[in-house]
Amino acid sequence: MNTAIAGGGAVVFAIGDHFVQAAATAPGEIVAEAVSHHFHSGIDIGLESSFAAMGFGLEEGGNYGRKYSTGDAASVEKIADDFMRIFDELYHADINLPFEVSDV
């Protein structure tokens, strides 16, 4: 992940029509974006408080967004844990299905 981050890359993780994407915006920082009820009718508007508890805010574009530091292995692990929590607990996606991963 550090190579993609250093190179200014972006990646989308998806299970079905649920997605979380991450983009390098500066050295040691990524911005994560998760699909919201504005773009996916199966996502409850009530999840806004759950995303807020994880440090995400509803962005002007309509998705949930958050900045993360990637300064150390623990920071990167936190990002992975948060993404899994979003798919499992917030989206209720079947995490036994394979993730689709796409470079953007």
Note the pLDDT tens digit of each residue in 72-101: 899 989 999 999 999 999 989 998 888 899
- 68-71: long-range contacts (C-beta < 8 A, 24 or more apart)? 68/22, 68/29, 68/30, 68/31, 68/32, 69/28, 69/29, 70/1, 70/2, 70/5, 70/28, 70/29, 70/30, 71/28
Q: Report the predicted TM-score, pTM, of the whole model to 2 decimal places.
A: 0.82
Residue 93 gets which letter from DSSP? Answer: -
Question: What pLDDT is stored for residue 1 in this prediction?
Answer: 34
- Rounded to the nearest 10 degrees, how much is the dihedral formed by the CA atoms of 71, 75, 77, 78? -160
Q: How far is CA 85 from CA 3, 52, 81, 89, 97, in A?
A: 24, 13, 6, 5, 15
Residue 14, pLDDT above cutoff 90: yes
